Amino acid sequence: QLVESGGGLVQAGGSLRLSCAASGRTFSNYGMGWFRQAPGKEREFVTAISWSGVNIYYADYVKGRFTISRDNAKNTVYLQMNSLKPEDTAVYYCAAGAYYYGLESSGYAYWGQGTQVTVSS
């Protein structure tokens, strides 16, 4: 089970930190990803981190502004979002994939319920 938290309403230029708490499996065996879906758009990749935390991918549109991290002792992955823009407004989902941390949503078997992030201009 994956449970996201930390979403909310923020002004452009502001910051938010999302958390995703995992339970029920050996968290350290799973790559973790963050995806987002804006109204009327398809779900898109944001960032992903390998099970060890050594390997990380970012989508170009968040690179330099967002940071993914994980704490395997707490079974939690984080998404620090800085310099937020109105176009970052979306429902953000975390996902877990057994030994997978790629860009394709199909590689992730488990998904959270999502948390809304709204950035006002």
Tokens of 71: 């704490």
Percent over 70 (pLDDT), the chain:
100
Are the C-beta atoms of 33 and 4 separated by less than 8 Å? Answer: no
Distance between CA atoms of 43 and 106, rounded to whole angstroms? 11
- Residue 22 is predicted with a pLDDT of 93
Tokens 């995703």 sit on residue: 20
Tokens of 35: 């995806």
Tokens of 48: 């992903």
Tokens 């909310």 sit on residue: 8
pLDDT tens-digit series, residues 36-95: 999 999 999 999 999 999 999 999 999 999 999 999 999 999 999 999 999 999 999 999
- Residue 24 is predicted with a pLDDT of 77
Percent over 90 (pLDDT), the chain:
93
